[in-house]
């Protein structure tokens, strides 16, 4: 019997039965847009279906020509979509999963361009979008009716392709939400004013959908239970919308999420970073559930089967909608059902390679599991090797751990050597910062993968070229990482200057007046600033970039800037470190060259990046002629993501 009986109990949605309550939720993937890339998206979904989910909901499909950007979004506005959708539905059904399609129009929340030109934006009313800085044109009634008809046509195409259901997207401040929101809809015709009138666009769209599909096709909505920002829909308003639609018999389920794409603060909750508590929407979702007569799904920071089981078992929702949890581990459901929760590669909510990739237009992946989004590139990552080889991995950071785990799983005899007494490299520092402990999960997960694969781990062992020669490996993976880079600038020996690493670990003596010189513009400068501010220091953060956290994913960065502002951290951008004296630090403006002076400084914290820890590598290149793979920061200092990708590639090449 499964340890998670509620999670793996079948459930009926309308006329459809699902085998369990684990749902791969809708999200953009950046796949399937360019010619020839649809097989990548099919393989992506098939991996999750094979991994045991009960339902897959596709990413948003645009329904109307007023918002068609096929280089960036999938569309269901013509019959060309049917063969592609049929192929996706087929791989889901092959593994016993169901598939629904999501119908979408953003209204005024327009961020995309066509051939470089920003698309025209349309909305219920001529009111600005805060996040995208868009002023829309108000929709005519004729356009409203045309878009309503397009929702029905899109649903028909999805059903014709063999999808089991369709989901109408009211969530995250997009077009349907704009109609029902009295602060976004100031119309005076039959589509504005009273609650009934503001609901008319939604009710007529759902009626068109219902009329376009047969009775076996499930129809549901996705709605933000709270848009969690000024001007957004409140919990009470969203519950009223869901209740009205359920009472009218227009929907078979409600998919509950949070946040809004229309505002910076609300957008943080579209893909909430690790600062946000796990399962944080469960209580408001439970309140909404009490107001509707149909089953509910819940998404938003659920990354463990224990959390999912508790939410369903307590009646806060009937199903869980997981995205990043299944990006990190496609076999989340199968492992949970088999009673192996410790084997699940838990999402750490870093946002770097999932939504971070999406915002760059790159394929969605995971820093822990780069096979995600590359299912066809690494289709046989764990196939057994024909020739067993002795492999020596030097360095126990994420890259070395990934290389060791994959090489061992392929059947090689692998030993990993780490000079410190703990694994993890810079991850050990990152997890010590406020609200960043979850980042350490990458070490926990990769350690478990090495254990399951049979890697021999030797900690507290410093390797030199003589030792490599004595071991006589068939292949060596060098993953020795990096060390802090300390620039040669005038006066740094006069001021009390310390690197960020000993500050984070608590080994440095830091005064009350602190200046942080942040060249990296990532988690180091912001994290140290928060830590020291919480410890009572007065902190000034000087960034050698356009803003603090310039190199972080936007939702993480935006939230973190708010935290720093609330703690009184002073920030200054475009600041290049120039020099120092005994109590002042000198910066230079990056564009106009003018001097920026920070006075009365007790401690200067340097976050100036890293340089390769290449001593062993240099020795091996001189003295050893065997197979050599170089990965991660010792190849070129970057992030954990690149180290893990290169670890996978190295293991596949051996």
What are the tens digits of pLDDT across the range 326-355?
A: 999 999 999 999 999 999 999 999 999 999
d(CA 224, CA 233): 8
User: Residue 119 — pLDDT band, cuts 50, 70, 90?
Assistant: confident
- Over 214-264, what HEC string results? CCCCEEEEEEECCCCCCCCCCHHHHHHHHHHHHHCCCCCEEEEECCECCCH
Contacts of 328 (CB under 8 A, 6+ apart): 303, 345, 346, 347, 348, 366, 368, 369, 372
User: Residue 253 — pLDDT band, cuts 50, 70, 90?
Assistant: very high
The torsion angle over the Cα atoms of residues 375, 379, 381 and 384, rounded to 10 degrees, is: 160
pLDDT of 208 strictly over 70: yes
Instruction: Note the pLDDT of residue 381.
Output: 65
- In the three-class reduction of DSSP (H, G, I as helix; E, B as strand; rest coil), residue 115 is classed as coil
* Nearest C-alpha neighbor of 58 from the set 39, 43, 49, 45: 45
Give domain 390-484+612-653's CATH number out of 3.30.2130.10, 3.40.50.300, 3.40.50.720, 3.90.550.10.
3.40.50.720
Contacts of 140 (CB under 8 A, 6+ apart): none
Taking residue 77's Cβ as centre, other Cβ atoms within 10 Å add up to: 19
Contacts of 270 (CB under 8 A, 6+ apart): 172, 259, 260, 261, 355, 555
Location of each CATH 3.40.50.720 domain in the chain: 390-484+612-653
pLDDT of 564 strictly over 70: yes
Report whether 91 contacts 46 (CB < 8 A).
yes
Taking residues 541-548, what's their average pLDDT? 98
Buried b (16+ CB within 10 A) or exposed e, 134-171: bebebbeeeebeebbbbbbbbbbbbbebbbbbbbbbbb
Location of each CATH 3.50.50.60 domain in the chain: 497-608
The CATH superfamily assigned to 11-360 is Aldolase class I (3.20.20.70)
Taking residues 225-251, what's their average pLDDT? 97
Instruction: Note the pLDDT of residue 69.
Output: 73
Here the tokens at position 16 are 């459809």
Report whether 153 contacts 160 (CB < 8 A).
no
Instruction: Note the pLDDT of residue 230.
Output: 87
Taking residues 424-446, what's their average pLDDT? 97
Which CB contacts under 8 angstroms, 24+ apart, belong to 143-147? 143/66, 144/191, 144/201, 146/64, 147/63, 147/64, 147/66, 147/105, 147/175, 147/205
Location of each CATH 3.20.20.70 domain in the chain: 11-360
Taking residues 64-84, what's their average pLDDT? 87
Angle at 630 between CA 43 and CA 390, to 5 degrees: 85
Going from the C-alpha of 411 to that of each of 207, 403, 414, the distances in angstroms are 57, 13, 9
User: Residue 380 — pLDDT band, cuts 50, 70, 90?
Assistant: low
User: What mean pLDDT is reported for the chain?
Assistant: 96
pLDDT in tens, 601-631: 999 999 999 999 999 999 999 999 999 999 9
* Strands annotated E in 39-164: 55-62, 74-75, 98-104, 113-114, 117-118, 122-123, 137-138
Burial class (CB in 10 A: 0-12, 13-18, 19+), 522: buried
Taking residue 34's Cβ as centre, other Cβ atoms within 10 Å add up to: 11
Taking residues 366-395, what's their average pLDDT? 91
Instruction: Note the pLDDT of residue 602.
Output: 97
Taking residue 315's Cβ as centre, other Cβ atoms within 10 Å add up to: 12
Instruction: Note the pLDDT of residue 68.
Output: 76
Taking residues 69-89, what's their average pLDDT? 89
Contacts of 440 (CB under 8 A, 6+ apart): 348, 424, 427, 428, 430, 431
pLDDT of 451 strictly over 70: yes
Going from the C-alpha of 13 to that of each of 54, 85, 289, 415, the distances in angstroms are 12, 21, 15, 50
Instruction: Note the pLDDT of residue 1.
Output: 64
Instruction: Note the pLDDT of residue 32.
Output: 83
Edge-first strand order for the sheet with 570-572 is: 497-499, 603-607, 513-518, 538-543, 570-572
- In the three-class reduction of DSSP (H, G, I as helix; E, B as strand; rest coil), residue 575 is classed as strand
Contacts of 640 (CB under 8 A, 6+ apart): 367, 397, 398, 399, 426, 427, 442
- In the three-class reduction of DSSP (H, G, I as helix; E, B as strand; rest coil), residue 599 is classed as coil
Q: How many residues comprise the chain?
A: 654
Which run of H or E residues covers position 321? Answer: strand 319-322
Contacts of 36 (CB under 8 A, 6+ apart): none
The backbone torsions φ and ψ at residue 103, rounded to the nearest 5 degrees and listed phi first, read -105, 135
Which CB contacts under 8 angstroms, 24+ apart, belong to 410-415? 410/382, 410/383, 410/384, 410/385, 410/651, 410/652, 410/654, 411/384, 411/385, 412/385, 412/388, 412/654, 413/388, 413/389, 414/453, 414/454, 414/455, 414/456, 415/391, 415/455, 415/456, 415/457, 415/458, 415/471
Residues 516, 519, 523, 526, CA torsion sign:
positive
User: Residue 378 — pLDDT band, cuts 50, 70, 90?
Assistant: confident
Taking residues 435-464, what's their average pLDDT? 97
Report whether 412 contacts 385 (CB < 8 A).
yes
pLDDT of 147 strictly over 70: yes
- In the three-class reduction of DSSP (H, G, I as helix; E, B as strand; rest coil), residue 541 is classed as strand
* Nearest C-alpha neighbor of 67 from the set 138, 142, 150: 150
The backbone torsions φ and ψ at residue 325, rounded to the nearest 5 degrees and listed phi first, read -60, -35
* Nearest C-alpha neighbor of 47 from the set 449, 364, 455: 364
* Nearest C-alpha neighbor of 24 from the set 46, 5, 6, 8: 46
Burial class (CB in 10 A: 0-12, 13-18, 19+), 582: exposed
pLDDT of 70 strictly over 70: no
pTM: 0.96
Fold of 497-608: FAD/NAD(P)-binding domain (3.50.50)
Instruction: Note the pLDDT of residue 36.
Output: 75
Cα 552 to chain centroid distance, Å, stands at: 12
Bridge pairing between strands 11-13 and 22-24: unpaired
Here the tokens at position 556 are 């993480």
Instruction: Note the pLDDT of residue 176.
Output: 98
pLDDT of 51 strictly over 70: yes
Report whether 190 contacts 133 (CB < 8 A).
no
Which residue has 């290389």 as its token pair?
A: 403
Report whether 54 contacts 19 (CB < 8 A).
yes
Report whether 300 contacts 269 (CB < 8 A).
yes
Here the tokens at position 574 are 């475009």
Which run of H or E residues covers position 502? Answer: helix 500-505
- In the three-class reduction of DSSP (H, G, I as helix; E, B as strand; rest coil), residue 91 is classed as helix
pLDDT of 180 strictly over 90: yes
């Amino acid at each position: 019997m499964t340890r998670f009986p509620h999670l793996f109990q079948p459930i009926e949605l309308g006329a459809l039965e699902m085998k369990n309550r684990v749902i791969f939720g809708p999200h953009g993937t950046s796949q399937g847009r360019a010619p020839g890339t649809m097989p990548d998206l099919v393989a992506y979904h098939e991996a999750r279906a094979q991994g045991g989910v009960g339902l897959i909901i596709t990413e948003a499909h645009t329904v109307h020509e007023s918002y068609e950007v096929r280089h960036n979004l999938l569309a269901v506005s013509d019959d060309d979509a049917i063969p592609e959708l049929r192929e996706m539905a087929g791989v889901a059904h092959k593994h016993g999963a169901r598939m629904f399609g999501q119908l979408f129009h953003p209204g005024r929340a327009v961020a995309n361009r066509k051939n470089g030109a920003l698309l025209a934006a349309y909305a219920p009313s001529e009111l600005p979008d805060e996040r995208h800085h868009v002023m829309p044109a108000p929709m005519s009634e004729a356009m409203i009716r045309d878009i309503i008809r397009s929702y029905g046509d899109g649903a028909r195409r999805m059903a014709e392709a063999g999808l089991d259901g369709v989901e109408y997207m009211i969530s995250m401040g997009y077009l349907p939400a704009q109609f029902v929101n009295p602060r976004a809809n100031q119309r005076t015709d039959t589509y504005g004013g009273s609650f009934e009138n503001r609901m008319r666009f939604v009710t007529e769209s759902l009626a068109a959908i219902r009329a376009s599909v047969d009775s076996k096709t499930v129809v549901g909505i996705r709605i933000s239970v709270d848009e969690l920002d000024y001007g957004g829909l409140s919990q009470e308003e969203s519950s009223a919308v869901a209740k009205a639609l359920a009472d009218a018999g227009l929907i078979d389920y409600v998919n509950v999420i949070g946040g809004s794409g229309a505002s910076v603060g609300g957008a943080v909750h579209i893909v909430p970073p690790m600062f946000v508590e796990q399962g944080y929407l469960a209580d408001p979702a439970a309140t909404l559930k009490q107001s509707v007569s149909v089953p509910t799904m819940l998404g938003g920071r659920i990354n463990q089967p224990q959390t999912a089981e508790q939410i369903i078992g307590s009646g806060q929702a009937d199903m869980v909608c997981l995205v990043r949890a299944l990006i990190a581990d496609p076999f989340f459901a199968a492992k949970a059902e088999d009673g192996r929760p410790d084997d699940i590669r838990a999402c750490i909510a870093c946002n770097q390679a999932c939504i971070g990739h999406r915002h760059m237009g790159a394929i969605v992946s995971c820093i822990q599991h780069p096979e995600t989004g590359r299912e066809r590139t690494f289709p046989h990552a764990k196939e057994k090797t024909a020739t067993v080889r002795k492999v020596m991995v030097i360095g126990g950071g994420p890259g070395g751990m990934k290389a060791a785990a994959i090489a061992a799983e392929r059947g090689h005899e692998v030993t990993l050597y780490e000079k410190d007494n703990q694994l993890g490299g810079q991850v050990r520092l990152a997890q010590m910062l406020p609200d960043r402990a979850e980042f350490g999960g990458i070490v926990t997960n990769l350690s478990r993968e090495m254990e399951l694969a049979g890697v021999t781990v030797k900690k507290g062992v410093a390797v030199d070229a003589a030792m490599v020669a004595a071991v006589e490996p068939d292949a060596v993976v060098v993953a020795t990482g990096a060390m802090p880079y300390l620039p040669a600038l005038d006066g740094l020996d006069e001021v009390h200057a310390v690197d960020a690493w000993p500050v984070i670990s608590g080994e440095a003596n830091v005064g009350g007046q602190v200046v942080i010189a942040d060249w990296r513009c990532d988690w180091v400068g912001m994290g140290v600033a928060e830590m020291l501010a919480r410890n009572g220091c007065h902190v000034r953060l000087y960034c050698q970039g356009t803003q603090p956290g310039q190199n972080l994913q936007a939702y993480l960065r935006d939230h973190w800037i708010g935290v720093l502002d609330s703690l009184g951290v002073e920030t200054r951008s475009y600041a290049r470190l120039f020099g120092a004296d005994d109590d002042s630090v000198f910066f230079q403006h990056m564009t106009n060259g003018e001097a920026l002076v920070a006075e009365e400084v007790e401690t200067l914290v340097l976050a100036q990046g890293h340089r390769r820890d290449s001593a062993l590598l240099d020795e091996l290149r001189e003295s050893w002629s065997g197979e050599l793979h170089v990965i991660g920061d010792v190849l070129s200092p970057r992030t954990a993501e690149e180290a893990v990708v290169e670890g996978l590639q190295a293991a596949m090449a051996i």
